[in-house]
Structure 1
């Protein structure tokens, strides 16, 4: 089973490394970023189950990152904010921007871990029954079914996962490597036709019930949900 992937955005290298090492020992997959702009770049290229976000960042601030994450990038990834600012009005403003939790610096790693596990557990429960709809396609994640015009598609495990990734990230372009590593939970070892064949199979299964286009090819990059 794929371990949750967490993005750490913290410009203090010492604190960033402490969080990284603790989370790696817990078995999480971690990516480190040291500025808001670098964090935004990672979010645009990869799927994360959780983001740990410092506020005092060079370039793009934590508040600006939060705003762009929820608006421009339209991501609903849970965010735990780290900040030395502990005034109530500041915390409320961050929740208004879309933060899910708030940890005041200095912090104990045990508390941060507890909050991380709580967010991941809460998000897993939310997603477990969440329906996703695009045009005439409806995904019921609780029943693990995909229907087009109420006709259920007979999908393989990987085909289902590919559709799920596209529906949950409607603005993102997935490379072949992204789709392979996320849907197969294996390391991508180079160019092959596996992803292309699976995308073609999905398109053909949908075409039996609907002539609409659901998956666009972004030439030279990968695939995305159609607009």
Structure 2
């Protein structure tokens, strides 16, 4: 059964989400410290993460997880400021939902994340010049440097690798990676592309090119 970690200190929200997600195994954590311990001890398919937590706060826990895993993380927060949302995406969140939220929207976002993860092929190596991606272990390397990517960054990288030199518009990228019609601000795509490009550049790989007025390509 698909296993989800719910890190949320509000018992009422915990109960509502658990009642919604009856088809999944939902494990509760009521503090960032407890969430960290759960991640250390168990394997999960997805994490729902509040930000305002006792002990280790949500942003610290997000950063800690991202150093170790590309596990999909959906942030749930009362913070509705666009700058803060972009900062969380830059820090490694794969999606962001503002409280109060519609429960069925949350369910749809969870299903999108899990559906995308399930579609990833296995037992293959994709490579491009010095870059290689192990599709079974999700390990991304540039020569001997291992890159730690978020789930969104990883999915965008696979898209580029599968169609090198093809120019993708922002809507193309969103609809392929998010598996839904493009409705977000272009800033959302720009943030993920910028983060992925930065990680590749730090490893000495300058592959992502901007095609002005159109989108991006791998070249």
User: Out of 80, 86, 100, which is 1:106 matched to?
Assistant: 100
> Matches of 1:109 and 1:34 in 2, distance apart?
19
2:68 maps to 1:66: no
* Structure-1-length-normalised TM-score: 0.54
Match of 1:23 in 2: 21
Q: Residue 99 of structure 1: SS of its match in structure 2?
A: coil
* Per-residue deviation, residues 166-220 of structure 1 (Å, max 9, x unmatched): xxxxxxxxxxxxxxxxxxxxxxxxxxxxxxxxxxxxxxxxxxxxxxxxxxxxxxx
- Structure 1 residue 93: Cα displacement: 0.6
How many Å apart are 1:122 and its aligned residue?
Answer: 1.1
- Alignment correspondent of 1:115: 109
User: Whole-Å Cα distance in 1 between the matches of residues 60 and 123 of structure 2?
Assistant: 28
Structure 1: which 5+ runs fail to align?
A: 133-137, 142-227
SS in structure 2 at match of 1:7: strand
* Aligned counterpart, 2:191: none
Larger Rg: 1
Is 1:92 aligned to 2:90, yes or no?
no
Residues 1:48 and 2:44 are matched in the alignment: yes
Structure 2 residue 74 is the aligned partner of structure 1 residue 80: yes
Count of matched residue positions in the alignment of Structure 1 and Structure 2: 130
CA RMSD in angstroms, aligned pairs only: 2.0
- SS of alignment partner, residue 63 of structure 2: helix
The alpha carbon displacement at 1:97 in A equals 1.0
Equivalents in 2 of 1:19, 1:45: separation in Å? Answer: 22
CA distance in 2, matches of 1:125, 1:100: 17
1:32 aligns with 2:25: no
- Hey, which bits of structure 1, 4+ residues long, moved more than 2 A? 128-132, 138-141
Q: CA deviation at 1:20?
A: 1.2
Going from structure 1 to structure 2, the CA distance change for 1:87 and 1:130 (only over 3 Å counts) comes to farther
TM-score (ref. length: structure 2): 0.56
Distance 2:21 2:29 in 1: 15
Deviation, 1:125, is: 1.7
Structure 2: gaps (5+ residues) = 126-132, 137-219
